[in-house]
Amino acid sequence: MAGSSGRPPDGIFYGGALACLVLLVVVSGSGMGAIKGLEVLLGGSLLIGSVVAALWVVWYSRRRPTTPTARELSQRFEAVGSMSGAQFEVFVADLFKTMGHQAVVLGGAGDQGVDVIVNRRGARVAVQCKNHRKPVNNKAVQEVYAGARHHQCAEACVVAPAGYTRGAIGLARSTEVSLFDADSIHRWIREADKLEKERASQAKSGIGPESPPPNKEIMETRKRAIWHPHPDDPPKS
């Protein structure tokens, strides 16, 4: 279903709230005067808030993409709310391509509920893109499930930043349709960032007889997937 969260870990905020609660209990039971107690409480709260803010900055800095392509994808996704449906489909296709997969945007009235077809390690995956402001309902799951059969795809998924209704999640489980939301997209951008760093490192060191053998998993990801065309696929440009 959804990928790992793109939000700060709850432990940062829960830890700060717990520290404030402990401080309040300590000050209340210390017997110090009201003014002195208020000073200690305000000073302690400011210190706790500073620590929480610092931890958040460290967390954000470590997760922020650093490679050019990943940064560009991240900037595009920040403006996802202003994207048209067609622009979001192209964005999703570009994201899959950056992760080493082949992707074709279908679009149009005859797409049969499939916006993008991805070839992931030789398997055709039908993708429906829904850039809605509210959680997507089970209609999207029904459409991509049927469209995947029409386009001869082995897997089907929906990509919707706003998430899904309970009905959509329930139907996706029974039909084995994968659901991806904003957290999933953030995870994919981090994966693209990691892959781009690995490619740059390999290009810098060179791959030759004297170089150490590259990681097998990385090379498999970098290989272009074999494309199995379908009559309804758009012609290659």
pLDDT tens by residue, 87-103: 999 999 999 999 889 99
Tokens 């979001």, residue?
A: 88
Q: Indicate if the alpha-carbon torsion angle 171, 174, 180, 184 is positive or negative.
A: positive
Q: Which fold has domain 68-184?
A: Trna Endonuclease; Chain: A, domain 1 (3.40.1350)
Name which of 37-41, 203-207, 218-222 the model is least confident about: 218-222
Query: Where along the chain do its domains lie?
Result: 10-63, 68-184
Range list of H helices, the chain: 10-29, 34-63, 68-78, 85-98, 138-150, 166-175, 182-205, 216-222
Contacts 24+ apart (CB under 8 A), 77-81: 77/185, 77/186, 77/189, 80/131, 80/161, 81/133
Work out the pLDDT band at 200, boundaries 50, 70, 90.
confident
DSSP codes of every residue in 178-212:
EEE-HHHHHHHHHHHHHHHHHHHHHHHH--STTSP
Mean pLDDT of 4-8: 47
Which of 3 and 102 is assigned the larger pLDDT?
Answer: 102
pTM over 0.85: no
Q: Which two tokens stand for residue 112?
A: 């049969």
Find which of 7-21, 74-88, 162-176, 192-206 is predicted with most confidence, using mean pLDDT: 162-176
Specify the pLDDT at position 8. 54
Percent of the chain clearing pLDDT 90 (strictly above): 40
Give the residue, 165 or 60, on which the prediction is more confident: 165
Tokens 């892959």, located at residue: 195
Other CB atoms within 10 Å distance of the CB of residue 110? 7
pLDDT score, position 145: 96
What's the pLDDT score for residue 27? 72
The C-alpha atoms of residue 133 and residue 106 are separated, in whole angstroms, by 23
**Does the pLDDT value for residue 186 go beyond 60?**
yes
Q: Dihedral of CA 125/76/3/182: which sign? A: negative
pLDDT of residue 171: 96
